[in-house]
Structure 1
């Protein structure tokens, strides 16, 4: 597992000092740069920032609704936060990664369920839903800043991801355009490949580190996740 303390204790200490994060990924610490704890995991997040910036530009240029602008801004913030986390392996910056992830997926939930929200027979239903999702994000932010609950975060994020993915499956069944369906299939493929890399890096680090070359599974997970933006 990526958090194996025996692996952590034997890791070299660089500019940011010993790791204080609850997760230390399978990439060897400070192997390539004295100032960057996990080099490949850090630079791979540039894809989130660049594609998020491009998506925001296109969203504004094409006159999309503000909810789409917010989603791309969240992606960029997550990219910066994740780079800070992997670059330092300090707990405070781990929160800068995980907290924006939750806010971003809450915005995504609002986007994919927007049609259903507009059909709610209640005045200002959209405003109430936004307030509800914002409250969830605020509560998570405060509690996450106080307690170290990596597993709770992963379960919570996973539940939100499943809720969003379920609605996407419904969209797939409703859409008949072959190009749109091809985009959906490539989206699912990238998601599954990225998740497989994440699982390998997180749960099977003891095997990965025995290989002649570290495949940098988490960096590939970042690449697959970032490439999803090209399909959205």
Structure 2
């Protein structure tokens, strides 16, 4: 690996040193060497890659405010911002309080998405009980994790909560939007019934099938990036000593490419953003607002967003024309 970069100008890695935030008090220390670029940031790449979270969070928050998305998704993007900010501070300092800010904000944001998914269409009493249960669960995870100080517990709790909300959202999407699964009660709830006109019904069914196709593309793409980030992180943990040797042979900045946990930030941050945007689009479809809002996602290397149809007139694209470009 290092031979590929041997002919390129580089800066030798200095030895690890004490830094501004020393000593390290976190229960985790990643494969990136500490304080080798600056004494003010413990892990420079793991820190800076969190700026993607900040950028995407601001993008999501502005989109929610501009296009009147449900408040729960505005709060979710604020939670996403806290995850990125907490991770930025954690990797910059490697202190235990900042570790808690980073890891627990992941739990809280995922609990919020569980509430958004499981409370939709339910009674106020059900939603209240669910909220109390999720707050209690988040409090239990917080206290028990602080007691154990075992990162494996946090990682397992986060993985379980994420899997639950993901599969539930997929189920809700299929049974409420796909025409062949749609119940009579769901059809009667439509605020703009087609009056039994077959041509109108067929047109709406085709529209919804196209929406589902795009949603599954978003899920597949976002989940692949998200899980790919975990795979890269696993390789980073498993082969840390080899990667450190290669980085030092390559020198800076080329060695930065081999910072696996930094790639984990970029990939999981992208996957999580896709999930929240999918949730926004799904909620509008569940509310029968498919003709009022559209998903803008022109290609795989751009970040999607959901906008009011009138709000996208400046670029002249409709939802269907966007999807044809994918």
- The CA deviation at 1:62 is 1.5
Contact preservation (8 Å) 1:95, 1:144? no
TM value normalised by structure 2? 0.62
The whole-number CA distance in structure 2 between the counterparts of 1:95 and 1:60 is 29
The aligned residue for residue 35 of structure 1 is 40
The aligned residue for residue 161 of structure 1 is 162
Picking from 225, 232, 240, the partner of 1:197 is 232
TM value normalised by structure 1? 0.85
Contact preservation (8 Å) 2:227, 2:268? no
Contact preservation (8 Å) 2:219, 2:274? no
Report the more deviating stretch, 142-151 or 40-49: 142-151
Contact preservation (8 Å) 2:24, 2:95? yes
Structure number with the bigger relative contact order (C-alpha 8 A, sep ≥ 6) is 1
The aligned residue for residue 293 of structure 2 is none
Picking from 220, 223, 232, the partner of 2:266 is 223
Contact preservation (8 Å) 2:47, 2:88? yes
- Number of residues of Structure 1 aligned to a counterpart in Structure 2: 219
Cα RMSD, aligned residues only: 2.1
Contact preservation (8 Å) 1:172, 1:184? no
Q: Structure 2 unaligned runs (5+)?
A: 1-14, 179-208, 250-254, 278-326
Picking from 219, 225, 241, the partner of 1:184 is 219
The whole-number CA distance in structure 2 between the counterparts of 1:111 and 1:145 is 27
The aligned residue for residue 6 of structure 1 is none
Contact preservation (8 Å) 2:232, 2:263? yes
SS at structure 1 position matched to 2:217? helix
Report the more deviating stretch, 181-190 or 10-19: 10-19
The whole-number CA distance in structure 2 between the counterparts of 1:145 and 1:42 is 23
Q: 1:114 to 1:37 in 2, by over 3 A?
A: same
Q: Structure 1 unaligned runs (5+)?
A: 1-9
Report the more deviating stretch, 163-172 or 194-203: 163-172
- The CA deviation at 1:123 is 5.3
Contact preservation (8 Å) 2:83, 2:102? yes
Q: 1:171 to 1:11 in 2, by over 3 A?
A: farther
Larger Rg: 2
Report the more deviating stretch, 179-188 or 139-148: 139-148
- The CA deviation at 1:143 is 3.6
Matches within 5 A, 1:44-123: 44-115=49-120, 118-119=121-122
